A and B are shown apart, each in its own frame.
Chain A
Amino acid sequence: MTDKLARASLVALGVVVLYAVVAPMLAPAAWHEVSLAAARRAPSWAHWFGTDNAGRDLFVRVALGLRVSLLIAVVCALVSTVLGVLVGTIAAAAGGVVDSVLMRFTDATNALPHLLLGIVIVAFFPGNLVAIIASISLTHWPQVARIVRSVALTTHRMEFVDAAYLTGASRGFVVARHLIPAAAGQAAVALVLLLPHAIWHESTLSFLGLGLAPDRASLGTLLAISRGEVLIGGWWTLAFPALALVVTTLAVSGVARALRHRFAPQALARVA
């Protein structure tokens, strides 16, 4: 059952990525252009997903939006994971006051409502890609840090770590050579689990008009445009970006769940 689901998710994810990468390259140049004569066309053989309010082909726009959303999600998940691994392993290796201060800070960050902070940060720096990525990354590392710390603590008590210290290794060496490799598997699973969250955050921020500028295609900005379009009958401007968002999220979550099942049955229950 899980295997079948995992395989289906992997295939779906492959199709989504392939579509995002290839569709804009194969499409005729005219499909990228603003053309008011072709605006607000319903789906047809000429335009599979219809056209938007400026006459751009939505089959291409959705693919471009997927590219941006996936890219932002991957960068955010990477940054959060790196931050979490660093905090978790350093806390485990240092112990004592450093450990409890770092973990208090982690708990405090984790207790904050993520998206709320995201809205605030992005509102202050409108349309700034770095602000969007920072607002997502800076709120999602605590869960990774907690998991990594628990793995690193176990490793830190192992005899080979004692041996390393006895031969004169520094804490930095132990973190880099022993703790981080030991936590790498968990961190990888956490990274994949963070992807759907990041996609959601970006699209939500852009939907609220706080993320990317409206003319930059992302799943969020496309859905923000559809907010006005559905009121005058343009259901396809909502249906296709939403479908892309839901299929991508389901596929990534499916892959993440399979990975967790395989590599980290218990530890990651909280991240999802």
Chain B
Amino acid sequence: MDTLTAAGLVAGRRARRRREVRGLVGRRLLWTVPLLVMISLGLFVLADASPFDPLVGYLGDRYQFTSTAQREAITAALQLDQGWWSAWTAWLADVALGDLGHSRSYAMPVASVVAERLPWTLLLSATGLVIAVALGLAGGLVAAFRPGSWVDRVASGLALIAQAVPPFVLALAAVVVGALALGWFPAGGARPVVGAVTWVGVAHHLVLPALVLGVSQTPWLLLTVRAEATEALASDPVRGAVTRGVGWAQVVRGHVLPAALVPLVTLVGVRLPELIVGAVLVEEVFAWPGLAAALVTSARTLDLPLLAFLTVTSTALVLLGSLLADLAYLAIDPRVRADD
């Protein structure tokens, strides 16, 4: 390769970059699969060690009215009496063949539970994320433009305080204000109890949970955008551009916004666990028929096939998110090296 010309240098650097990225992706994926397998194993071992009888979770109140013979029959039918090793290997073999198993708490295949609930979770999380990004960007930029002004103080102060409010408190407060005091929005569910499912009906139910999820993710984003934008505004290029008479709109588009958008990239990776936990709490409080609520239900009733699938997939999502964030960093910042 011609390393003496500028074009050759760039080409060489690009090739090295590609090798680095391939190596990073390969290493991470190599780690991910054994990690996920270990997590599922840990899950089955813990479930076996648990003093909680999965039959109680399965039968609920009916457990007390079930005779010993019936209990034994159900235990045998559901194969609840096998040890962790045989239960885990059987589950693993089924999953490897594409069979996710049968959810005891929802009395249908795990695949159907996921197919039924995934769209609701995606709808809620996506709307919440859009709200968080909109609020965080707008608030952070406005605060950065007038540092020390009352707008900045209110925005930053609110963000700092909101960081200390857990999502479930926010959700309960939203129910009290939005559903009970004002009566504008329903307190739970995702669609009217009777009648057909309409877009308007769903949107009406979506407002409170999506707002809560969005607002609970805003503070961190707002503070980061504010910090990045403040730094960009004080940088030499911006001062130079302003001195040369470049318009503010162009300065913001060319210098401030790109800097403020960096936190959005990390949002994908680093904040994914918080988003998942936020979704769990919001879905739980608002009785939203999504996957996060199913996770809590499956954990409470020891519905192992569903719980194992949801835990392993959400861990995989988190790991994938952090990989994507690292790749995005590599793409944005040429100084970052990919050798972990």
Q: Give chain A's interface residues, CB within 8 Å of chain B.
A: 104, 108, 111-117, 119-121, 123-126, 196, 200, 203-204, 207-210, 223, 226-227, 230-231, 233, 235, 238, 242, 245-246, 249-250, 253
Contacts of B52 in A (CB 8 A): 123-126
* 14 residue pairs from A and B, CB less than 8 Å apart: A112-B39, A113-B315, A115-B277, A119-B280, A119-B299, A120-B307, A121-B46, A124-B52, A200-B166, A231-B187, A238-B176, A245-B169, A246-B165, A250-B160
Please name the residue on chain B nearest to A226 by beta carbon. Answer: B172
Chain B residues within 8 Å of A, Cβ to Cβ: 31, 35, 39, 43, 46-47, 49-52, 160-161, 163-166, 168-169, 172-173, 175-176, 180, 187, 272-273, 276-277, 280-281, 284-285, 295-296, 299-300, 302, 307, 311, 314-315, 318-319, 322
Asked if B172 contacts A124 (CB within 8 A), the reply is: no
- With most chain A CB atoms within 10 A of its CB, the pick from B160, B284, B299, B302 is B299
Taken together as a complex, chains A and B put the C-alpha atoms of A115 and B167 apart, in Å, by: 13
Question: Closest chain A residue to B277 by CB distance?
Answer: A115
Chain A: which residue is nearest B45 at the CB level? A124
CB distance from A253 to the nearest CB of B (A): 7
Q: Are A112 and B169 in contact (CB under 8 A)?
A: no
* Interface contact A207-B168, CB-CB below 8 Å: yes
Q: CA A246 – CA B160 in complex, angstroms?
A: 11
Residues of B within 8 A of A227 (CB): 172, 285
Smallest Cβ-Cβ distance to B278: which chain A residue: A115
- Complex: chain A residue closest to B177, CB-CB: A235
13 extra interchain contacts, Cβ-Cβ under 8 A, other than A125-B50, A246-B165? Answer: A111-B315, A111-B319, A113-B314, A116-B311, A116-B314, A121-B46, A124-B50, A124-B52, A223-B169, A227-B285, A231-B187, A245-B164, A249-B164
What separation, in Å, do the CA atoms of A230 and B180 have in the docked complex? 9
Q: How far is the CB of B168 from chain A (nearest CB, A)?
A: 5
B299 touches A120 (CB 8 A): yes
Contact, CB under 8 Å: A230 / B175? yes
Question: Do A238 and B314 have beta carbons less than 8 Å apart?
Answer: no
Chain A nearest Cβ from B224, distance in angstroms: 12
Contact B172 A246 (CB under 8 A): no
A246–B161 touching, CB < 8 Å: yes
Contacts of A120 in B (CB 8 A): 43, 46, 299, 307, 311
**Are B299 and A113 neighbours in the complex by a CB distance under 8 Å?**
no
**Separation in Å of the B259 CB from the closest CB of chain A?**
18
Set of chain A residues within 8 Å of B173, measured between Cβ atoms: 238, 242
Which residues of chain A have C-beta atoms less than 8 A from B295's C-beta? 116, 119
Residues of B contacting A238 in the complex (Cβ-Cβ under 8 angstroms): 169, 172-173, 176
Structural contact, B296 and A208, CB atoms closer than 8 A: yes
**A66 → B minimal CB distance (Å):** 15
